[in-house]
């Protein structure tokens, strides 16, 4: 038949042009496209799998027709965008855990701190014991190699000095405040810390803020004022202690963030060094203001009234003070001072509520309204900053 008499060109059988490899250089197998800076768009920037060659052909020197291997050179590796999104989610989760632990430890500290101050009204020694316990804990952890000791120099300690001074003043002032008034009242006044942060940043650091930020300060200040006026156990020393603590801690947070910038010291070790330096600053002042004779007499009275549990209260308030501050500095290592102040203010909600429940603090409706307005102002402030 005529169909069977047709001869096929050997070239077309051996290597059809359709199956030839392109002469231009192709991408290497298993390479991916560079991702966009936008994580969402980078997830959609993959090219489909592109085969180098496809079909059947003859191997050189062989009469058998064998399949030609297919190799992909696009999109068969994970996208960098997925890594970016995953790292951002992990970072947010990490900060969330820091905040939750920080708040819980702070609640426990405030409860035991108030118990100690009710039985032993010597806030200067109580503050000193907190710093001494923390310093001892960190020195033991360094010696046992549980934590790696930081490598510091003279410049580091010079930069840390103003932070330590602010931390010492804020710590003592807050303890003095809680020795005179209820824990809830101290923390209601201290919820005005964002207002002090804005004012200090504006008038001393020259920073400017949008109008909504300034407007959000009105309910914070007004709510704190309303709560102070209607406080049943108002005390001027307690009120001024909380106010001084606000100013001191704002400076501490600002100086801390500047001091930690560009340093290889972690937030945990940074606070450890801060705690030891603050202890050196505070100890002579505590001895001058109160003195060993007052401490000895007060200690005997507390032991006779409370019993051995008083020693546990002192140990607990000292340990939890160091732990909650250490975790807070681990948070400050990851966030801005302003975010730190916001988190610190929102933390006070749990402290205020828990202290009212545990100590059965009498609260008038107007007093509770003032606290609620101040907290609402803090929320508006955080929204305005965003």
Q: How does the average pLDDT of the chain come out, rounded?
A: 79
- Per the model's pLDDT, the better-predicted residue between 150 and 86 turns out to be 150
State the pLDDT at residue 141.
93
Q: How does pLDDT run across 337-350, given as a tens digit for each residue? A: 666 666 776 788 88
State the pLDDT at residue 54.
44
Task: Confirm if 378 and 349 have CB atoms less than 8 A apart.
Answer: no
- Whole-model pTM: value is 0.72
pLDDT band at 261 (very low <50, low <70, confident <90, very high): low
Triad 138, 327, 250: Cα angle to 5°: 105
State the pLDDT at residue 109.
95
State the pLDDT at residue 11.
44
Tokens coding 342 = 């916001």
CA 178 to chain centre: 25
Strand partners, 332: none
Query: Mind giving me the DSSP string for 46-96?
Result: PPPP-BS--SEEEPTT--SEEEPPP-B-SS-S--HHHHHHHHHHHHHHHHH
Domain segments of the chain: what residues?
A: 114-385
Element (H, E) at 199: helix 193-203
Task: Confirm if 203 and 274 have CB atoms less than 8 A apart.
Answer: no
- Per the model's pLDDT, the better-predicted residue between 182 and 40 turns out to be 182
Q: How does pLDDT run across 52-103, given as a tens digit for each residue? A: 444 444 444 444 444 544 444 444 445 555 665 667 777 777 777 878 888 8
144 has a pLDDT exceeding 90: yes
20 has a pLDDT exceeding 60: no
Share of the chain residues as helix, strand and coil, in percent rounded to the nearest 5: 70, 0, 25
48 has a pLDDT exceeding 50: no
């Amino acid at each position: 038949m005529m169909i069977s008499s047709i001869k096929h060109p050997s070239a077309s059988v051996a290597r059809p042009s359709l199956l030839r490899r392109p002469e231009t250089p192709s991408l290497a197998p298993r390479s991916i496209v560079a991702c966009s800076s936008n994580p969402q768009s980078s997830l959609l920037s993959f090219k489909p799998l592109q085969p180098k060659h496809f079909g059947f052909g003859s191997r050189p020197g062989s009469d058998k027709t064998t399949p030609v291997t297919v190799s992909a050179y696009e999109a068969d590796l994970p996208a960098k965008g997925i890594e970016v999104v995953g790292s951002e989610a992990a970072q947010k989760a990490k900060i969330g855990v820091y905040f939750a632990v920080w708040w819980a430890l702070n609640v426990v500290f405030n409860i035991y701190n108030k118990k100690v101050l009710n039985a032993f009204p010597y806030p200067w020694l109580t503050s000193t014991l907190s710093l001494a316990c923390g310093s001892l804990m960190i020195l033991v952890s360094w010696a046992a190699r549980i934590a790696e000791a930081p490598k510091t120099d003279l410049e580091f300690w010079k930069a840390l000095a103003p932070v330590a001074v602010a931390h010492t003043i804020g710590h003592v002032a807050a303890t003095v405040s809680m020795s005179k008034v209820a824990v809830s009242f101290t923390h209601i006044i201290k919820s005005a810390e964002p207002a002090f942060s804005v004012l200090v940043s504006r008038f001393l650091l020259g920073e400017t803020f949008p109008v909504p930020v300034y407007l959000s300060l009105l309910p914070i200040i007004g709510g704190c004022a309303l709560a102070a006026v209607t406080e049943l156990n108002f005390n001027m020393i307690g009120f001024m202690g909380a106010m001084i603590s606000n100013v001191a801690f704002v400076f501490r947070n600002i100086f801390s963030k500047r001091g930690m910038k560009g340093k290889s010291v972690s937030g945990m070790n940074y606070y450890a060094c801060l705690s030891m330096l603050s202890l050196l600053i505070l100890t002579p002042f505590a001895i001058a203001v109160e003195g060993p004779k007052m401490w000895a007499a007060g200690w005997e009275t507390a032991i006779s009234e409370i019993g051995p549990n008083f020693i546990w209260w002192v140990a607990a308030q000292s340990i939890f003070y160091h732990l909650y501050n250490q975790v807070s500095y681990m948070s400050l290592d990851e966030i801005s001072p302003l975010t730190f102040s916001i988190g610190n203010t929102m933390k006070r909600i749990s402290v205020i509520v828990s202290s009212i429940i545990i100590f059965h603090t009498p609260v008038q409706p107007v007093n509770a309204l003032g606290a609620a307005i101040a907290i609402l102002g803090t929320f508006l402030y955080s929204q305005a900053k965003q």
